[in-house]
Structure 1
């Protein structure tokens, strides 16, 4: 029986309202490595967003490579790039730590043809079985932007193009397929329609999600992008988000974080076993009076605590009062509860914060734009938002002047 370990969305470098989480990352990565050493998988897959920024710090680069090297000592480890990752960094990682260096690490930073790393093959069970993995890193919608269009990529453009990319990979996946020996897997960094988003995730326009039915039929699809661990519903084969190993925000405080272990035999349904992660400081919400917080103070020791205090007027000393009650908690945005005005009216579910594109669409409608004009404008707006994800920002004028000076140096002659 072959075994896969699926992890995702580490987001190394993420901070919580300015508070470092290095201690938590070190703890949870050690736990993931320990699970790998105990479970002895034949293959380990990381489905994207290794880092929180496309410009990770040196400490986070060391943290990532140390953990990945420890995982690769257990089994071949494949990492695909997410929307937060830099394809150029991944190319560098592959150069210094990839298969050419014999370390068992495989970095897929950008879409590759099947013959050039888009489909990877690994022996399992001492060579009796073979795992074939099709890898699809994050693909930016701008990749499919028709040059003839002034309004950016449409949903039809994106959906059709993504289907085409996946079809090419899956066609290659099936070439030479031996049903008595091979196990087919797929990994991608995509949002699948109908899955539950986490509040900490970067806004993505729904037009650029992937319908569940577009996922290729394989033994298991290892997905990344969604921070909330969950299966994709309505499919005849298992596809699952491993989720982030740490809660990224207080909206994930009650999430059960995990990695996923998948046991598979050729021609048989796989067995999917989420393994819960318990490392890292807990995120906790509290709403109540100071007296109620005092009564429950012990349970918030060692947590990141976001307290909302009722029955108190705004007071510069409120944070100090809370800190005295829970001295061993890290306080995040302590605030007094605010009573809603009697004439306040909400025209939406208070638990649903609208995405930025939806807010902009509503604004344009209030300004009297026609539906067609508004949609065209919103599409262009989303295009500009997505540009923020590009790894190379436009150079500043001063930077350009310095670069020009360095490229056109002169020496003084006597």
Structure 2
């Protein structure tokens, strides 16, 4: 049995004002070519198909076009990640399903085994059978507990273990060790996984240990952008990672998909297949003369230059552009000494992520340390709860609308 594992496409991502349509088209075409060449029995995308919960029409068109090409090769299962909208995924699933190619399946939210939590596929001409348990992103609110005296989150890892246990029990019903291969796919943060510096912090209360992953032939994980194996798991588990670098914190990552070969009763072989498409994210610190010497290596890249020995003026960007005319410059700036009063580590003009901006605001108000971080975590959770549902009406807005619809004029 062969599996192709990909994840975290983040379609619709705009990099410092630059749409990445060209990069997405290139890397997705590379993934399709790998699928056509390797001829897997199953393809799994382990979440964060989109960068925003309300993806634009271009992102949705690109997603469905690529997934249809993959489904023409093998059944393709897509999990909803924390960036994805379960409602959108439910709609996509209602419009595709087994009728699309060899089958295109969207796992919108956690479902018990009998409601789509466990999927079964034939492999190797029917000689083998794949049983796949799917666990899309589970928000901590699922484990919210309220009592007469307290309101708190239940233990996230314990809650996740309970959901997984039900799926595993169902997968073992009628299990044939000479024929069946058990797989698990989830969008989850596993303790100890290496995050890139740009990835949002994950609250320790909302992660699960590697020992909590179920014992299967292979666990296909999404959420972390750096491709890596999971240490300490009972079986082979990997993050496929994102196919493109999302920010400069991922500039040194190699990007990949994972090809997994498995047979009943034998060790699994999971090998990353490196991706090379898409423009690179690069950084440079030095003088203009040093940049001039190495200018050719930055052709066609997104370049974040920090120039030493130059005064900040209106002409600096033009000077840099003359040195590297074929690079896309991101926030060119002169080198500067660290300011003790600086709250955020960001370049002038760089738009921070909302949680970082909120953290800076708290620091200016004198709130730092553990209390500040717990407040930022709560703020981030609220952001992640936003979905595609219509917001409730605001009373003042309704009164204003009614007034505008019933305009009167003063009697003469």
TM-score greater than 0.5 by the shorter chain: yes
2:53 aligned with 1:58: no
> Per-residue CA shift, 1:231-254, capped at 9, x if unaligned?
111234210000000000111111
**What does residue 285 of structure 1 align with?**
283
2:329 aligned with 1:331: yes
> Per-residue CA shift, 1:206-244, capped at 9, x if unaligned?
211111111001100000000110011123421000000
Where does structure 1 lack aligned partners over 5 or more consecutive residues?
406-414
Structure 2 CA distance for partners of 1:151 and 1:222, relative to 1, 3 Å? farther
Give 1:56 deviation, angstroms: 0.5
Cα distance in 2 between the residues matched to 1:58 and 1:52: 13
**What does residue 411 of structure 1 align with?**
none
Structure 2 CA distance for partners of 1:152 and 1:85, relative to 1, 3 Å? farther
Secondary structure of the 1:389 match is helix
> Per-residue CA shift, 1:71-97, capped at 9, x if unaligned?
000000000000000011101111111
**What does residue 387 of structure 1 align with?**
382
2:198 aligned with 1:203: no
User: Residue 142 of structure 1 contacts residue 152 of structure 1 at CA under 8 Å; is this kept in 2?
Assistant: no
Structure 2 CA distance for partners of 1:289 and 1:87, relative to 1, 3 Å? same
Give 1:315 deviation, angstroms: 1.2
Secondary structure of the 2:312 match is coil
**What does residue 351 of structure 2 align with?**
none
**What does residue 242 of structure 2 align with?**
244
Cα distance in 2 between the residues matched to 1:365 and 1:151: 29
**What does residue 258 of structure 1 align with?**
256
Cα distance in 2 between the residues matched to 1:235 and 1:77: 25
**What does residue 82 of structure 1 align with?**
81
Cα distance in 1 between the residues matched to 2:138 and 2:233: 23
Give 1:313 deviation, angstroms: 1.1
Give 1:381 deviation, angstroms: 5.6
**What does residue 164 of structure 1 align with?**
162
Cα distance in 2 between the residues matched to 1:318 and 1:150: 61
Structure 2 CA distance for partners of 1:324 and 1:124, relative to 1, 3 Å? same
Q: What are the equivalent positions in structure 2 for 1:183-222 lying under 5 Å apart? A: 183-222=181-220
Query: What do you get for the CA RMSD once the two structures are aligned?
Result: 3.2
Q: Which moved more, 1:386-395 or 1:235-244?
A: 386-395
Structure 2 CA distance for partners of 1:99 and 1:368, relative to 1, 3 Å? closer
> Per-residue CA shift, 1:116-139, capped at 9, x if unaligned?
110000000000001100000000
User: Residue 27 of structure 2 contacts residue 277 of structure 2 at CA under 8 Å; is this kept in 1?
Assistant: yes
Structure 2 CA distance for partners of 1:151 and 1:310, relative to 1, 3 Å? farther
Give 1:204 deviation, angstroms: 2.1
Where does structure 2 lack aligned partners over 5 or more consecutive residues?
347-354, 403-412
**What does residue 128 of structure 2 align with?**
129
Give 1:397 deviation, angstroms: 2.8
Give 1:148 deviation, angstroms: 3.0
Give 1:98 deviation, angstroms: 1.3
Structure 2 CA distance for partners of 1:196 and 1:378, relative to 1, 3 Å? closer
User: Residue 6 of structure 2 contacts residue 44 of structure 2 at CA under 8 Å; is this kept in 1?
Assistant: yes
Number of positions where the alignment pairs a residue of Structure 1 with one of Structure 2:
392
**What does residue 11 of structure 2 align with?**
12
Give 1:339 deviation, angstroms: 2.3
2:364 aligned with 1:397: no
Secondary structure of the 2:285 match is strand
TM-score (norm 1): 0.87
User: Residue 3 of structure 1 contacts residue 263 of structure 1 at CA under 8 Å; is this kept in 2?
Assistant: yes
Cα distance in 1 between the residues matched to 2:195 and 2:373: 21
> Per-residue CA shift, 1:144-189, capped at 9, x if unaligned?
11133898643x5212111100111111111111000001000000
Give 1:99 deviation, angstroms: 2.1
Structure 2 CA distance for partners of 1:95 and 1:254, relative to 1, 3 Å? same
Give 1:200 deviation, angstroms: 3.0
Secondary structure of the 1:170 match is helix
TM-score (norm 2): 0.87
Secondary structure of the 2:267 match is coil
Cα distance in 2 between the residues matched to 1:215 and 1:293: 47
> Per-residue CA shift, 1:316-335, capped at 9, x if unaligned?
11111111111111000111
Cα distance in 2 between the residues matched to 1:148 and 1:378: 26
**What does residue 293 of structure 2 align with?**
295
Secondary structure of the 1:5 match is strand
Structure 2 CA distance for partners of 1:400 and 1:192, relative to 1, 3 Å? farther
Cα distance in 2 between the residues matched to 1:25 and 1:368: 39
**What does residue 412 of structure 1 align with?**
none
User: Residue 245 of structure 1 contacts residue 257 of structure 1 at CA under 8 Å; is this kept in 2?
Assistant: yes
**What does residue 410 of structure 1 align with?**
none
Give 1:101 deviation, angstroms: 5.4
